[in-house]
Structure 1
Amino acid sequence: MALKTPVSIVAIESLSALGMGREKVWATYLSHRHGIEERSFPGEKAWVAPISEEYKDSIEEVRRSQSHYRKLDETVLFALAVSRMAAHSARWKKNGNFGINIGSSRGATGIFESHHKQFIKEGSTSPWTSPATTLGNISSWVAHDMQTSGPEISHSITCSTALHALLNGVAWIQGGMADRFLVGGSEAPLTPFTVAQMKALKIYAKAGGPFPCRALDLKKDENTMVLGEGAAMACLQAGDSPDSLALIDGIGYATEILESSVSISTEADCFQRSMQMAMGDLHSSQVDAVVMHAPGTIKGDESEFRAVHKVFGPDVPLLTSNKWMTGHTLGASGMLSVEMAVLMLQHQVFIPLPYTGEKPKAKNLNRILVNAVGFGGNAVSILLKRPR
């Protein structure tokens, strides 16, 4: 779906296993080094992609900046840290009139597990339990931190949460109800119960090797999904701004009938529809690359790959994914993929997968499509265009 009026991404920032800040993130992409490591959890070990210890101080700074923040989950603290960075990069000041839409798939998992453990042991819980574990508290805390006067929205739409936030921001701007929106996702899921849930689905990585997560490797014979943590935020602004890092050229979304609680159809019908909607009347040859959702599972990667071939036919663009580096950050993953696309457009360098043996030909990058999908088959595709 083409936009009635242009919408610019004037800033995008993140915190993940890639690092913090666009320069560091881009340097990590160029290094082809992932941030996945093995950690011990109760009764077992698991591959995960945590943020580096060098950034823990930044999170502690946020935690100490207000007394109330000491009781917040890392999901909220990640969002606060990255939102401050994004607003600073966009030169948006406190007390500004801009909207906020930040979501999370799981929410305050660490705080929730801690308080629930206390309840099981003692039969009582803290008065902070409910407000600190409410899923809608991310955007409200960011709005409080930035003292904004615009609308604030939180939601959970599983792994496509961040891109649905972007859709909402675009809709408010296109509807003339706002001219600026801070959008994104935050996730801190590296907790024993969350890891156990993912392992119960039989999609989690078991083997190690140089690349524990082999996203988009169609030759793998076992699932390799790995959980990661982090947050990513983009500042959207009405119009073709001179500060634009990328223009949103099209948006698409679709939901399909479930075949199971965790999978999409064999040819990812939802992705086919969302990609076609995002491209609109644009010829398939005008899309130069796709940052795929590709979580590292056999069925998930293969179905999205088939959907891309169905939509693009002989004009299949360059294909990549960043989950082999970041792990699957659930509700934040879509915006991390948008950041990857923005950086590739900005630097005119395509980041390939290091383990497939494919050597993509160099080409100009003018338009990149970004995909995300979550449990329930709720796909989103965002078409980004290089600014003039």
Structure 2
Amino acid sequence: MKHPIAITSISSISSLGSTSDEVWKNYLRKDHLIKELDLGSPKVLAVPLRANEKDEIELLRGSDSKYKQLDDSVLFAIHASRRALQDANWKKGDDFGINIGSSRGATSLFEKYHEAFLKEGKTRTLTSPTTTLGNISSWVGHDLQSKGPSISHSITCSTALHALLNGVAWLRSEMTDKFLVGGSEAALTPFTIAQMESLKIYAQQKDTYPCKALDLEKKKNTMVIGEGAAVACLELGVKNDSLATIEGVGYATEPLSHNISISTNADCFQESMKMALGSNSPEEVDVIVMHAPGTIKGDLSEYNAIKKVFGDKHPALTTNKWKIGHTFGASGMLSIELAVLMMEHQTFVTVPFVEHRSYPDQIKTVLINAVGFGGNAVSVLLRK
């Protein structure tokens, strides 16, 4: 890439915790974080925030009267963004852009207001301003007093990596030199779960590992929903103290044969990975953090695409969805966080029920994939 972009900090809040040390400690554990939740009848499998993180969100909600009416998706983003800003040594009121997207936005709040409307025939004054998709970035901008642009969008499950693409484009245009990017999702509601179940892709079995992401021989779909937010601070140029450098970005879509389809060999992933590699040799990539949602077709098509691009001697493969579930619009940035941590600690995080053919001797270059409904693929190449 002509203009390298540095990741100078990354912060998240999820079932893994809300600090880098907690997140890494939980990645090294071989157990998953999936629970049975009472989100309907019968109970369903999901991955909520831990009690400590929920307490932090409630403290944030109570810290400002204006925040009491905000959806969790907004509060998750504010929480993660504050820490990212601090870790990057950015200051409140600085001139930086914000692009934090979400697949579903203010899910819980929207469903609450709609239920009240059906019962009462009217709705609350703040219904519209607190459920628009744009309120995630705009509230983060308010909280951080940013003077730059605030952008929100939804490109379903590749939303966070599309936010990163936008940040890279703004930085390369030199219209700004700092951008905060990421995704936030708080979609653990009965209606959302019911939608995934209706697609026949949701995990039903309470196995040792309910989500079999990256198990290419599974016979049933095993996707599980999680919640959380993750954001990264991007700066133009190579920085000595950066966590990683964005070496390349790639994106592609493919023609729809069905609303949620992806081709057998994931043509969109093939194109996005080739674009992200650019002039870099495929042999230089040490690890690929796959999208791998835990569905039969989704996992296998991405794997087929990897073999098309890298051949049989492909890089080591991993994913985090078996542990933390699919966090929709936040998932891509949580995968970026996993990649950064593996490079920092020079430790490959395995999927415990998958036989890994080889382990990388070193982790200097990682490729991260994400894709949304309709084949909106993004690939990001990071180098330490």
TM over 0.5: yes
Query: What aligned pairs does 1:174-213 form with structure 2 within 5 A after superposition?
Result: 174-213=172-211
Query: Which residue of 2 is the match for residue 340 of structure 1?
Result: 338
Taking structure 2 as the reference length, what is the TM-score of the superposition? 0.99
The answer (yes or no) to whether the contact 1:162–1:335 under 8 Å persists in 2 is yes
The answer (yes or no) to whether the contact 1:252–1:382 under 8 Å persists in 2 is yes
C-alpha separation in 2, matches of 1:95 and 1:32: 42
Query: What aligned pairs does 1:224-263 form with structure 2 within 5 A after superposition?
Result: 224-263=222-261
C-alpha separation in 1, matches of 2:359 and 2:63: 48
Q: How many residues align?
A: 384
Query: Which residue of 1 is the match for residue 24 of structure 2?
Result: 26
The answer (yes or no) to whether the contact 2:348–2:359 under 8 Å persists in 1 is no
The SS at the match of 2:38 is strand
Query: Which residue of 1 is the match for residue 97 of structure 2?
Result: 99
Q: CA deviation at 1:57?
A: 1.6
User: What letter is aligned with 1:221?
Assistant: K
Identify which range, 310-319 or 166-175, moves more after superposition: 310-319
Match of 2:325 among 323, 327, 330: 327
1:61-111 CA distances to partner (integer Å, 9 max, x unpaired)?
211121110000000000010000111111111111100000000000100
Query: What aligned pairs does 1:155-166 form with structure 2 within 5 A after superposition?
Result: 155-166=153-164
The answer (yes or no) to whether the contact 1:17–1:34 under 8 Å persists in 2 is no
Q: CA deviation at 1:249?
A: 0.3
1:320-378 CA distances to partner (integer Å, 9 max, x unpaired)?
00001110000000000000000011111110110023363341111100000000110
Query: What aligned pairs does 1:347-362 form with structure 2 within 5 A after superposition?
Result: 347-358=345-356, 360-362=358-360
C-alpha separation in 2, matches of 1:284 and 1:177: 32
User: What letter is aligned with 1:323?
Assistant: K
Q: CA deviation at 1:282?
A: 1.3
Query: What aligned pairs does 1:275-354 form with structure 2 within 5 A after superposition?
Result: 275-354=273-352
User: What letter is aligned with 1:256?
Assistant: E
The answer (yes or no) to whether the contact 1:18–1:34 under 8 Å persists in 2 is no
Q: CA deviation at 1:315?
A: 3.3
User: What letter is aligned with 1:176?
Assistant: E
C-alpha separation in 2, matches of 1:170 and 1:361: 31
User: What letter is aligned with 1:118?
Assistant: A
1:87 aligns with 2:85: yes
1:15-43 CA distances to partner (integer Å, 9 max, x unpaired)?
11111111100000111222100112223
What RMSD, in angstroms, separates the aligned Cα atoms of the two structures?
Answer: 0.9
User: What letter is aligned with 2:375?
Assistant: G
C-alpha separation in 1, matches of 2:349 and 2:135: 35
Query: Which residue of 2 is the match for residue 141 of structure 1?
Result: 139
Structure 1 unmatched runs, 5+: none
Report % sequence identity: 58
Extract structure 1 runs of 4+ deviating beyond 3 A: none
